Structure 1
Amino acid sequence: MGKLKTFYIELENSKGVFLAGQTINGKLVIELNAEMKMREIRCTFKGLAYVHWSESETTGTGSNRRTETIDYTASENYFNQTVPVFGRGMGMGDKNCLPPGQHVYPFSFQLPPNLPSSFEGGIGYVRYTIKGTIDKPWKFDHTTKRPFTVIASLDLNSQPTAARSEQNQNSKYLCCLCCKSGPITGMLKLDRLGYVPGEAIAFNAEVQNMTNRVCGIHAKLYMTTLFRTLKKSKTTTSEVAKVVYQDVQPGETEIWSGGRLVIPPLPPSFLEGCRIIDLNYYFELIVDPSGPAIDLHVPLLVIIGTIPLQTVVQQYQTQYGVPATEQPTLPPSDTATSDPPMVGAAPMSLPPPTYSECVFGKTNIREEGDSEYTRGEMNFAPAYVYYHDLSKQPQFN
């Protein structure tokens, strides 16, 4: 058995969700089976955005033709600060020793303002971590890691298009050998474009099928992510959720009235504060003809925020008889049982949101500098706001 029994980071806010500018309070906990010599114990607070992907490119001609791998990389550093809690950094010199038993070292760190929201996107991320290090002379260091979530507030009431109704229509013809069928036409209508996780996107759609094929119908919410480097950009698409409707038969028209799709926990649109990653969301009607054919797509750009529209809150109050009061004062964010308050919210009498793991699930956050011996959370998913009560909102008008 080694000398180090346990080594972990514990946050006073057990949910590990913070707003930019808030203070992170916690402690580094070490338990030793035997005495251990060390230079110091420290915490490193790190926030950065990083993008990286590789592509194979062929250059030259003939015998000079060759294929090489090109790496595209970009990064932004938001903070990288080390806070000593024991030993050299506390003025105790390089030769320090801890006896067996448990040792607890409190720490505190104030986040800078205007940070972008946490995001994990495969070839790019915005990531915030705390790393604990036991710096040992002439031996490998012991390290432990604790990721946490930062949420940037996006108030839908500040977005000019969020409360606006919108519709889109598209059509296409199917070709089979020398014959061209009648068109497929799809129409999608939303009574607004701004939503928060937990709300349902209420929509109406209509599909006219003038072909001789059966057509499937569904609607989906998807996220597009633009990753930027100095030399090149790359866009990826991820499906968030979808709902399926009945088929439309040849020569018929289907009216999809009162459709609903509940929005799961997601990062807010735009990823404001980050210059190398951009997020957008689209809600789309899709018509899928049977047989070989390209689907018909009817998209609308929507905004996913963290603070709901005041008109939506008022609808909720009216429907459920909730009195219109000022938003209650929430307990401090550094208590273990509380969620961080959503600053900048308009007055509303909704219960505060919960904070739920991102719908895309966990990802491995092992980075350069993390060894196989690094302890802590190496699989992590950011947690985002989720308004359970708003899923009861009224149907499409």
Structure 2
Amino acid sequence: MKASLDIQSIRKECCVCESMEHQQVISFDDVPVFLGCSTKKRDEDIFVSYKALQCIRCGLITTDANLDELSYAELHSEAIGGIWLRHHDTFAAFCMRKMAYLLKQPSVLEIGPSSNPIVRRIQCEFDSVCYCDMLTELPFALIHNEVYVQARFPEHMDSNRFEIIIASHVFEHADNLNKFLKGALDRLEKNGSVLISIPNFQYWIENKYWNAITPEHNNYPMEEHLRYLAQLCRVEIEIEYFENHSVFAHFKKTEWTDRPFIIFNPSAAEKILLQWVESLQHSIELAENALISAAQKHHFDAVLLAGASHLSQYPILMSHQITQRVTNVIDNSDYKNGKRLYGTKVIVKEFEIIADYIQPAVVIFASPYQNEMSKQVKALNPRAIVLTC
């Protein structure tokens, strides 16, 4: 796997501002298409090459990975851990507050619930609940007023109407942000609301998180893009931030008055994107050197990488030295335990395995979950050598 600067002009329509002028910034070669684990043979793994582009006018970062629907259906994330649990509860409370104006039990559509439907965390009675996802089978059982539609929103879903539409960490997977939002708004009853949560991409990229740019995210909207889309669709928008992790947005159909359009700052997005790709190799070198230095000072009996996703896949595939040293990848997911990390030959173990070693070295690459995982490692084995890179 390789990620490198590859700057050239590209003509492609922006799904926010409709400009045709783009700049290709990064080339990614031989990237694993799935972020998780597999029970299949390693030679069945799929790798893709793709580009990261940036709109010259509005600064929106996009990728051209173009994963097919089967690939999206396989991209099942359990979204577990302390930060995710706080996110789910906080976003549910955000949704509850924004629904307070409704005078009756609403019908709700949740797009992409994965294994953690937000609807079930909202302290409210619903008239009906529809889940829309591309999973062949939902990883939870439906109850009396719930139905499931296997479809890719909005293209393959019927035109039923709802008072509330919820999408948590789904919007960024859409092929076209404008089309997705309009598809949601078109399915709303009068005065209905669309409530979304997306990664805080500006913070993630600025802070050089390894999972900031990946093949399953087609678009990387920031606050100004959300506000521009709201103006384009002539709806009100309210935005709140959850820690440095996510951005919550409430799009509401209401009386509209014209106002000046958002002024973009594309150069700021370009700067952080360039710094992000340059940081990847620096982070790899930091990890390699840290392992060498730690081996000279300590007699650790295992090298573990934390996070059975891009956080381990990419470093393993980009560094021969890390590949040679790693014992296992550790993750909090019961679903991933004992399986092979996709794209590699490394087996995933539960975090608790740390306690079985005398003094393991645990490498944790930059992500929103780095501090949380570091604390968990030390709680399980105070003698563990934690290397944050």
TM-score, length-scaled by structure 1: 0.22
Which one has the bigger helix percentage?
A: 2
Which one has the bigger strand percentage?
A: 1
**Structure exhibiting the larger radius of gyration computed from Cα positions:** 1
